[in-house]
Structure 1
Amino acid sequence: MLDKSSAVPLYAQLAEKLKEKILRGEWKDGEKIPPEFELMEKYGVSRATVRAAIDTLVAEGFLVKRHGIGTFVRKFRPTFSFEPLISLNYALETFGFVSKNVVLKKGYLKVDENLSCDARWKAVQECFLVKRLRYVDEFPIVVEESYFHPEIAKAIENEDLTKSLAKVFFESLKHIEIARIEQIIEPCTQKEAEDHVQGLIDTDTFLKMSRWIYVKDHTEPVYYLLLFMRADLSRLRG
């Protein structure tokens, strides 16, 4: 069942449950998934929660909707998927990869006009940055920059920042309620990524992910993540 006391939205928890079924082969490629009312009954959630979870997996490429027929497991899926709301570690482990994080930079910095725009901040003057390089099977594959609102940073700045930052965030801030999470994944070129990647990853194409986490009683995001991952991860194992 889902944890209704968790700060993680129910639709996000449900999306993870359904994704696990796909990744473990319980729901086969091309198979029609159970109807909404069955999922509502099984997980004890509303129709809106079920639809939001399904829409999340459709956006990620795990499911496809066929008008008037139903929702099906998509036959072609990316060889790698982002863990959308909790942790990238789970997805990596699911595919059998061994990963580690190296902290390249951490500390407070002034928020300039560009960062203010990207992070959707209007009044924030200073934030806490954690920049990391992630290795998979000893290959550098991800550069991630996590920007934390100063009101949130105090709770996480002394934690082990080589762990999943999303989990550190949720576990250190159990008292707050997540209002919503927005995420965009898009391809980008080496040139577009260069200012952030700075030659750390040897590839021509990247996937860029931007994520904003909003909490209750805050109109602006408290956590902005900018992540660049090599788009040819599957080639590492030839």
Structure 2
Amino acid sequence: MLERDSPTPLYEQVEALIKKNILNKTWPKGKKIPTEAELMKKFGVSRGTLKRAISNLQKNGYLVQRQGLGTFVQADIEIPLERGLYSFAEYFQAHHIDYSNKILSAKIPKKTSKVIADKLGITINDKYLCLRRLREVEGENIMLIENNINISSAPHIETADFSKESLFSIIERYSKETVEYSETKYSAVGANSEVSSYFSIKKGAPILYQEQLVHLSNNSIIEFARVWIKSNHFTLKTILHRK
């Protein structure tokens, strides 16, 4: 229990006890934790002390507050890799996960870098759309997304509303082709200054990084995406069969 003569502040002790209950699965992922009144009585602390502990646990991805429902242990967002190609937005929609997109920028750069040109299979004189978005789930920024789109394969796509609709749906509508497959790779990287500021984490903290080339049914490359993912409660899942 709490050590009131300890130099460690009470809110940090409460935070450690709550975290222990989460890690040992006394309070399983996705489940509601006891109410504030119950926790204040259990730990013998004030509301202010408890709120500070819970706030820190929210910032670090252990808890999430849902308006009108209470505080819950943060559940992992699992992306099943074996079930075919679909976007993160399509996954969230299918699993009824509330999310929002903040458009940071959507512009056609004046100059195309050789890196982007090589990825999209275009020349440095060709134009492309660079779309940058910040995705929020249950009040927490979890993804910084950069989509580099070959607009020659999807004329006027820059006029679309990217804040609500799935990008793949938009691509298929403007290109009049279907999204066929992707080449995707993941790696663990340290957060740079921009990413750390969006995710409220320390610079250099580990995050998940994704690069993806998306191909249309006519074999052209429509998109090169770079995604930085806050990985404290985000997992990739697959099922493999041995031949």
Are 1:170 and 2:175 matched, yes or no?
A: no
| Paired residues of 2:181 and 2:215 also in contact (CA < 8 A) | yes
Give, in whole Å, the separation in 2 of the partners of 1:124 and 1:81: 35
| Paired residues of 2:128 and 2:149 also in contact (CA < 8 A) | yes
Following superposition of structure 1 onto structure 2, how do residues 1-238 of structure 1 map, counting pairs within 5 Å?
79-81=77-79, 85-93=85-93, 97-109=97-109, 110-117=111-118, 119-125=119-125, 126-162=127-163, 163-173=165-175, 175-178=176-179, 180-191=181-192, 194=193, 197=195, 199-203=197-201, 204-217=205-218, 221-233=221-233
Q: 1:96 to 1:205 in 2, by over 3 A?
A: farther
| Paired residues of 1:124 and 1:149 also in contact (CA < 8 A) | no
| Paired residues of 1:85 and 1:166 also in contact (CA < 8 A) | no
Would you say how many aligned residue pairs link Structure 1 and Structure 2?
A: 152
| Paired residues of 1:141 and 1:233 also in contact (CA < 8 A) | no
| Paired residues of 2:117 and 2:124 also in contact (CA < 8 A) | yes
Structure 2: segments with no counterpart, 5+ residues = 1-75, 235-243
| Paired residues of 1:107 and 1:130 also in contact (CA < 8 A) | yes
CA shift digits 1:48-98 (9 cap, x unpaired): xxxxxxxxxxxxxxxxxxxxxxxxxxxxxx743278633212333455531
Structure 1: segments with no counterpart, 5+ residues = 1-77
1:115 positional shift: 2.9
Q: 1:170 to 1:141 in 2, by over 3 A?
A: same
| Paired residues of 2:153 and 2:222 also in contact (CA < 8 A) | yes
Q: Output the aligned Cα RMSD.
A: 2.9
TM-score (structure 1 length as normaliser): 0.54
One-letter code of the match for 2:98? V
Partner SS, residue 151 of structure 1: coil
One-letter code of the match for 2:79? S
| Paired residues of 1:134 and 1:141 also in contact (CA < 8 A) | yes
| Paired residues of 2:155 and 2:174 also in contact (CA < 8 A) | no
Give, in whole Å, the separation in 2 of the partners of 1:181 and 1:213: 4
Give, in whole Å, the separation in 1 of the partners of 2:198 and 2:144: 8
TM-score (structure 2 length as normaliser): 0.53
1:184 positional shift: 1.1
